[in-house]
Amino acid sequence: MAVYLHEEDLPEGALAPGVVAVDTETMGLITTRDRLCLVQISDGRGDEHLVRFGIGSRFDAPNLKAVLADPSRIKLFHFARFDLAAIHHYLGVMATPVFCTKIASKLVRTYTDRHGLKDLVRELTGKEISKQQQSSDWGGAVLSDAQLEYAASDVRYLHACHTVLVERLAREGRTSTAQACFDFLPTRALLDIAGWADRDIFSHE
């Protein structure tokens, strides 16, 4: 198992075919203001690839974009709504089809209100991940070993969680409901970018 840091794009052929786990790190939580700094991606076979974008980046990244836009690859996210918006805004592609482990968790782990990645990974895989670097500066010239490990751990266990969640969704008869939610996520992300992040357009008000 290894963590690879790349500058501005993913090397061609770095990933095996199939499902990929994806995450992003940005300078903050407002997509249009807080630039994309890092995209983490894993094919689930033991290595994690981190693609860093520097200040003034043009976000060309043809190899990374090709993977993210590939309609034959399911992209696994935890809280896909945010990552889809960041990827679309900066890289110009919509990373679909998508499976969001946070949404799936909320649909089947109704016995808890703990749906963060750390709690999900602990329950479904028995592994522990640290969230200490969650609010660190991702725009610096050098990323620390702790930052790299944190970023890699955010995609390291998504394949394993996906396997369990797919089984539980089927068991509880909620697969089609989950899929409908996943299918709507690109639209939800575009609404966020367009200024409706804090408004529920389905509400009566």
pLDDT-derived band at 190, boundaries 50, 70, 90? very high
State how far the Cα of 84 lies from the Cα of 93, in Å rounded to an integer.
Answer: 9
- SS3 state at 18: coil
Query: For the ranges 45-49, 126-130, 190-194, which has the lowest average pLDDT?
Result: 126-130
Residues of the chain with pLDDT > 70, as a percent, come to 99
Is residue 184's pLDDT more than 90?
Answer: yes
State how far the Cα of 71 lies from the Cα of 4, in Å rounded to an integer.
Answer: 25
**pLDDT the model gives residue 130:** 82
Which of the following CATH numbers is that of domain 3-196: 3.30.70.330, 3.40.50.2300, 3.30.420.10, 3.30.420.40?
A: 3.30.420.10
State how far the Cα of 49 lies from the Cα of 10, in Å rounded to an integer.
Answer: 8
pLDDT single digits (tens) 119-170: 999 999 999 998 776 679 999 999 999 999 999 999 999 999 999 999 999 9
pLDDT single digits (tens) 19-38: 999 999 999 999 999 999 99
Kindly report the pTM of this predicted structure. 0.96
DSSP 173-191: T-HHHHHHHHHHHHHHHHH
- Paired tokens of 135: 């609010």
What is the rounded average pLDDT for all residues in the chain?
96
How many other CB atoms are there within 10 angstroms of residue 164's CB atom?
Answer: 17
- Region 101-124: mean pLDDT is 98
Is residue 49's pLDDT more than 80?
Answer: yes
**pLDDT the model gives residue 132:** 73
Per-domain residue ranges of the chain: 3-196
**pLDDT the model gives residue 65:** 98
**pLDDT the model gives residue 74:** 98
**pLDDT the model gives residue 166:** 98
